[in-house]
Structure 1
Amino acid sequence: MQLSIVIPLLNEEKSLPELYNWIIEVMQANNYSYEIIFIDDGSSDHSWKIIKQLSETNTSVKAIHFQKNYGKSQALHAGFLMAQGEVVITMDADLQDNPEEIPDLFNLIKKENYDLVSGWKRKRYDNVITKNLPSKLFNLAARKVSGLPLHDFNCGLKAYSQEVIKQIDVYGEMHRYIPLLAKNAGFHHIAEKEVKHQARKYGETKFGSERFLHGLLDLITIWFISRFGKNPMHLFGGLGILMFFVGFIAALYIGVSKLYHLYHHIPDILVTQNPWFYIALTVMVMGTLLFLAGFIAELILRSQHKTERYKVSKTLNQ
């Protein structure tokens, strides 16, 4: 199979028929063998009913239904597990991603051997204050931290080789950073393609302004995990030893100073009246705690087990 099109969605009943017909036109025009995988992330409208009807008329339509809303990352994770195509395309279900971009994305993966191609919506039809400006600031921070020269990390329209989606683990809210996850997994042929962006035709956006704060926090998380995820002791243990050493030197200085004053019969304040005594003690305790945190993190890392992250209630044509 050439193509898997993975589409996470939440309450998009009005968009689904039009999106489906548009994708089918592109598939037929290019004579692709394909599958369309809808992941209904706990919709409360008639989205699942529409998907079920589409699957009954076309066996290439497959679907997953979550028991409740788990988030886009979990939906993509489930879709990637199901996908069988040589090239995997992800896109949003709100008609803001253009299916006519699929052939070019497919060729970049299949013919030019990129591992991942990320869409870039240079011209956007979103609110400048609430979405465009925060998005630019967020993407600037993501570029600096990740080292990837991408302009639009959060674009839902992306293309992947089969090898990438089977080796990366999209968890939490890390769908924004799939290119960075791929890079950390050893896939370095990552490109960007400018894509068309349409104004939302139906409904309202599912994301509020808080997503940018969450995105920045996730960026810090993924930076930490990529640097120290396999050896947390390198960070916590190193900081712990450094702080303990600094506190020990301070305490040693206080002790030597006290002995010097006693030996030369020089009046001096009590050790417990010296503020540096408490500073040294606090720093040594903090250093010990950081070292123990690193040690415990190493134990947890080596004993952790895979846990269920979402519950699938129904599937179609799997």
Structure 2
Amino acid sequence: MMLMLSVVTTLYRSSRYVDAFYRRIVADAEKLTSSFEIVFVNDASPDDSLEMARRLCATDPRVKVIDLARNFGQHRALMCGMRHAGGERVFVIDVDLEEEPENLGRFWRAMDEDCETDVVVGQLEEKTLPFAKAFTSDLFYKVFNAFSPVQISDRDIVSRLMKRSYADALLQYGETELFLPAVWKDAGFVQKRIVATKVYDGNSSYTFRKKLVMAADAITSFSSRPLTGIFYLGLLSSGTATLVILYLVLQKLFWGRVFVGWTSLMAALFLIGGVIIFSIGVVGIYIAKIFSEVKGRPTSLVRAIYQGNCVRAPRAADDSRREHEWQG
């Protein structure tokens, strides 16, 4: 029998949400089809999220738990869950209940309304974030869109319902550094957006340091413009320096003026030195990404797959860039 729906979500410090999420998503899925599965991907959660999900496995054969060998990050964990999803439609959502599990039914009906739609995405009508978080979020999206040819919206949420063809297209993205919002947009297909809501509970596993790392990874993964910017910055600096030198020479030759000043000299040296170091740093990020990609390491490793009362053997990878999985 063909599986009609797969619900994919990740677990990280999620123990207080698991049971409520399960009840709500099952109640909504049962209204749509009797053929569905729920795929929990445990991203090495330090709490008892895995144990709670395994208890659900024991009572409901429709629940599958993918236990990753270590923490790989939400984006890689979601891609891993999609690889193990067998449904003709795949619904991706966060487990923390900030996004309503009942969106599944709304997205399903929106997809049925137009057979050409490949993915239905939830989009916020307005964002309600604390000032500091809203400022950093807006800044990130503005900077990313300024540098990247792939334009993403700061109002799109994680929740989305995908056809199998779109999900399979996403799985062809084999880069080690994944930034899913841009991958979702870059894949193309016919994407339909409908209004959704999101309630922020104030808890987030993304620290300020993690956000900075993600911002650097996202921009350098989807754009070479920083490298082009370095070229123009160097060109501007060289041109400015040439004009200043020409001006000083003319002052000396025709008017006999000699400009002296330790402060201005040191300021110029610090400015040029800072530009050079910054430029080398940006180039270094790109070199590091090349180094990471050419090694071809797997984007995630699966320790075990739980379904029912047994541990299933992981599905073998069919090429070197797919998940290399093993059973613990």
Normalising to structure 1: TM-score of the pair? 0.68
CA gap 1:118/1:179 in 2 versus in 1, 3 angstroms: farther
Give the deviation of 1:114 after TM superposition: 3.8
The structure 1 residue matched to 2:239, chosen from 245, 263, 269, is 245
Describe how 1:162-177 pairs up with structure 2 within 5 A: 162-163=167-168, 165-168=170-173, 174=179
User: Residue 41 in 1 paired to residue 53 in 2?
Assistant: no
Give the deviation of 1:6 after TM superposition: 0.9
CA contact (8 A) 2:170 2:187 kept: no
Using the alignment, how far apart are the partners of 2:97 and 2:48 within structure 1? 17
Using the alignment, how far apart are the partners of 2:245 and 2:14 within structure 1? 65
The residue number in structure 2 matching 1:52 is 54
- SS at structure 2 position matched to 1:234: helix
Q: Which moved more, 1:210-219 or 1:100-109?
A: 210-219
Matched residues, percent identical?
A: 18
User: Residue 192 in 1 paired to residue 193 in 2?
Assistant: yes
Describe how 1:75-114 pairs up with structure 2 within 5 A: 75-109=77-111, 111-114=114-117
Give the deviation of 1:307 after TM superposition: 4.0
What code does the residue aligned with 1:194 have?
Answer: V
CA gap 1:168/1:113 in 2 versus in 1, 3 angstroms: farther
Describe how 1:169-318 pairs up with structure 2 within 5 A: 174=179, 178-183=180-185, 185-187=186-188, 189-195=190-196, 206-207=203-204, 211=207, 215=211, 218-219=214-215, 222-223=218-219, 225-228=221-224, 232-260=226-254, 266=256, 268-269=257-258, 304-305=293-294, 306-307=296-297, 311-316=301-306, 317=312, 318=314
Give the deviation of 1:64 after TM superposition: 1.8
- SS at structure 1 position matched to 2:222: helix
What code does the residue aligned with 1:193 have?
Answer: I
CA contact (8 A) 2:169 2:187 kept: no
Using the alignment, how far apart are the partners of 1:246 and 1:66 within structure 2? 54
Using the alignment, how far apart are the partners of 2:137 and 2:282 within structure 1? 31
CA contact (8 A) 1:233 1:297 kept: no
The alignment yields a C-alpha RMSD, in angstroms, of 4.3
The residue number in structure 1 matching 2:32 is 30
CA gap 1:311/1:220 in 2 versus in 1, 3 angstroms: closer
User: Residue 64 in 1 paired to residue 69 in 2?
Assistant: no
Q: Which runs of 5+ in 2 are unaligned?
A: 146-150, 307-311, 315-328
Task: Count the aligned residue pairs.
Answer: 294
CA gap 1:309/1:148 in 2 versus in 1, 3 angstroms: closer
CA contact (8 A) 1:240 1:290 kept: no
Q: Output one character per residue of 1:158-180: Cα deviation in whole Å (capped at 9) or x when no partner.
A: 23331453245797794xxx443
What code does the residue aligned with 2:171 have?
Answer: K
CA contact (8 A) 2:177 2:217 kept: no
Normalising to structure 2: TM-score of the pair? 0.66
- SS at structure 2 position matched to 1:30: coil
The residue number in structure 1 matching 2:121 is 118
Using the alignment, how far apart are the partners of 1:79 and 1:244 within structure 2? 50
Give the deviation of 1:150 after TM superposition: 5.3
Give the deviation of 1:51 after TM superposition: 2.1
CA contact (8 A) 2:57 2:63 kept: yes
What code does the residue aligned with 2:10 have?
Answer: P
Give the deviation of 1:187 after TM superposition: 1.6
Using the alignment, how far apart are the partners of 1:293 and 1:135 within structure 2? 27
- SS at structure 1 position matched to 2:51: helix
CA contact (8 A) 1:173 1:218 kept: no
Using the alignment, how far apart are the partners of 2:46 and 2:273 within structure 1? 52
Q: Which moved more, 1:52-61 or 1:271-280?
A: 271-280
Give the deviation of 1:238 after TM superposition: 2.4
Larger radius of gyration: 1
Using the alignment, how far apart are the partners of 1:91 and 1:6 within structure 2? 7
The residue number in structure 1 matching 2:9 is 7
